[in-house]
Amino acid sequence: FAPWDDPNEEPLIQFKGVTKRFGDFTAIDDLTLDIYAKEFFALLGPSGCGKTTMMRMLAGFETITEGKILLSGQDMAPVPPNKRAVNMMFQSYALFPHLSVWENIAFGLKREGKPKDEIEARVDEMLRLTRLKKFEKRKPHQISGGQRQRVALARSLAKAPKLLLLDEPLGALDKKLREETQFELMDIQESTGTTFVIVTHDQEEAMTVASRVAVMDEGRLVQVDTPDRIYEAPNSVYVADFIGDVNIVDGRAEPEGEQIKLHWAEGQPPITGTPSQPLTGAERVHFAIRPEKVAIAKERPEGRNNVLEGEVIDIGYLGNISTYHVRLANGQIFKAQTANTRRLANRGITWEDKVYLSFTDTAGVLLER
């Protein structure tokens, strides 16, 4: 049982009908969400959708207009930020430039008046956890960006919060370091058992690190699910389009036994699909299929249901994969992606070739919104 599927598990965090308005602008709209202890939970969405506002309300830096936030069952409204078992790590890290790495990590513990030997033991543990022991005497300007990021993390974990909020924690790192650091973050999260809530607008990052992802749009949750379900079973065109690459066609649905025939363009054969969840009977539906689920060949595949004919107009070679942009007779561009497992990466397909795209009945999803 994952905690979110276990009816006996009490959530660590509960948003209950939370609304946040700034003047007459609604930044968060009647939002209800449970997050469980030890989760690595990601808030994902475009700029301005309300991710940071949710974090600030959790940390207590922002009041709530309507609704409640509970932490371990307790209403947080009367609890000031410094009395919550919550810490927030900012993108800027906000390290003290004149203090050493060691002193930066010890800062919060000292301010709490913890005994000296307890502080030393705790800082030492944090230095080991974040592999910073040999940099302990350096000042922030004498270490690299990735190391500064780890100091900020060590400092936010030093007081052993139940919950750590990370707002774009890897935003300042370059792509390679960012990817390495994602795995470090996962290791640290697991070994400390702290609940992490991360804000990111990088969908790959959310998918890599998170146990569950909440996809947001204009102050609302669109889907909250595990990364694989978000990718394989998006609940809407918005989610399908936001996460990864996708082909989408709109059409008229005609039920045929267990299946749907989708009539989508003049002169194109209907697409046959099997709905992953029952459709409620809307006539207009969308069909979404990932490029890697679409096969491409120069010969027409025999005995297949869904075969589309087109012309290659672009090929993107990425080493491990190639993406083919294919223009169909009705003008729509369809993408097909192949894994380049063989040495001959492009399978003899080149620009302006006439090709056949095909996919199975269950390769795509049918969506009503």
Q: Which residues bind ligand ATP (CB under 6 A)?
A: 22, 25, 27, 45, 47-53, 201
Helix (H) or strand (E) holding 220: strand 220-225
Nearer to ligand ATP by Cβ, of 50 and 291: the residue is 50
CB of 61 or CB of 317, closer to ligand ATP: 61
CB of 171 to ligand ATP, least distance (A): 10
At its nearest, how many Å lie between ligand ATP and the CB of residue 93?
A: 16
Tokens of 29: 């709209």
- Cα first-last separation, the chain: 30
The rounded distance, in Å, linking the Cα atoms of 104 and 200 is 25
Q: Is the Cβ–Cβ distance between 86 and 163 less than 8 Å?
A: yes
Nearest distance in Å: CB 62, ligand ATP: 8
Q: How many other β-carbons are positioned within 10 Å of the β-carbon of residue 241?
A: 14
Count CA atoms within 13 Å of residue 267 on its CB side.
7
Nearer to ligand ATP, 45 or 364 (CB): 45
Structure tokens that stand for 121 in this block: 């033991």
Among residues 48 and 255, whose Cβ is nearest to ligand ATP?
A: 48
User: Taking the complex as a whole, how short is the minimal distance between the CB of residue 219 and ligand ATP, in angstroms?
Assistant: 7
Q: Which is nearer to ligand ATP, 45 or 169 (CB)?
A: 45
* Smallest distance from ligand ATP to CB 20, Å: 8
Q: How far is the CB of 49 from ligand ATP (least distance, A)?
A: 4
3-state secondary structure at position 53: helix
Who contacts 308 (Cβ-Cβ below 8 Å, separation ≥6)?
268, 269, 326, 328, 334, 356, 357, 358
| 69 vs 265, beta carbon nearer ligand ATP | 69
The H or E element spanning position 190 is: helix 175-192
DSSP state of 41: E
Among residues 49 and 271, whose Cβ is nearest to ligand ATP?
49
Residue 119 phi, psi (nearest 5): -60, -45
Could you tell me the strand order of the sheet in which 66-71 lies?
25-35, 13-22, 66-71, 74-75
- Closest separation between CB of residue 61 and ligand ATP, Å? 10
Residues 6+ apart with CB under 8 A from 177: 145, 146
